[in-house]
Structure 1
């Protein structure tokens, strides 16, 4: 798909352990990765909805942005995150139009998963 100007096209995270990150996102969300050397892995919009990657770092990871994933079954998504080794930071809560929870991945990145209100 051709990129569209002024839209989010790629997102990049830092990670301490790329193998742990691949295992976590593969198990929790079914993502597949492409290795680019020892210090970078990429994921595609086919699995994640957006292209992006993880860069290996030894430095402390400070997450300055909250990336929000969508899932049609929030309970299942939460179970997948826990089963893959993620930690729930903010349990499921409602907001106008939907519900979400926030979690911490194995490298300390904080993300959220949301779903529409069920009609």
Structure 2
């Protein structure tokens, strides 16, 4: 649903669209709609968005916003991300209010996953 003044869509660069699509499909069961060879979109995953072909990636160290997933089973989600081809940038750590880790998908975009405290 589109709501005035609310976040609605996010876009990321992706060096390898096919690898990025395969990763999110395997790790999070996302599906994609291609719009030509250089753009693919995702929907119904919490926030709609897409990936466009470009030699760039979103990383916290360069000032990028960090999109954070929620998981009820943090360790299982971490392991699934690795099995799907993601790389762990920061291992699981505690923070006030929960635990989380950071990962990169095959095109290098950084995301995090958080969970409630133990």
With structure 1 as the length reference, what TM-score do the two structures score? 0.89
Displacement of 1:22 in angstroms is 0.8
Q: Deviations over 1:58-95 (max 9, x none)?
A: x3335311111111111111011100111101111111
CA distance in 1, matches of 2:101, 2:30: 19
SS in 2 for 1:103: strand
Partner of 1:60: 56
SS in 2 for 1:60: coil
Displacement of 1:4 in angstroms is 2.0
Contact in 1 for aligned 2:13/2:56 (Cα 8 Å): no
Number of matched pairs: 114
CA distance in 1, matches of 2:28, 2:107: 16
In structure 2, relative to structure 1, the CA distance for the partners of 1:62 and 1:113 (3 Å cut) is closer
**1:87-102 correspondence runs (5 A):** 87-102=87-102
Partner of 2:12: 13
Partner of 2:76: 76
CA distance in 2, matches of 1:114, 1:74: 7
With structure 2 as the length reference, what TM-score do the two structures score? 0.89
Q: CA RMSD in A?
A: 1.3
CA distance in 2, matches of 1:6, 1:111: 24
In structure 2, relative to structure 1, the CA distance for the partners of 1:39 and 1:114 (3 Å cut) is same
Displacement of 1:8 in angstroms is 1.7
CA distance in 2, matches of 1:66, 1:113: 10
CA distance in 1, matches of 2:5, 2:70: 21
- The 4+ residue runs of structure 1 with deviation greater than 3 A are none
Contact in 1 for aligned 2:58/2:65 (Cα 8 Å): no
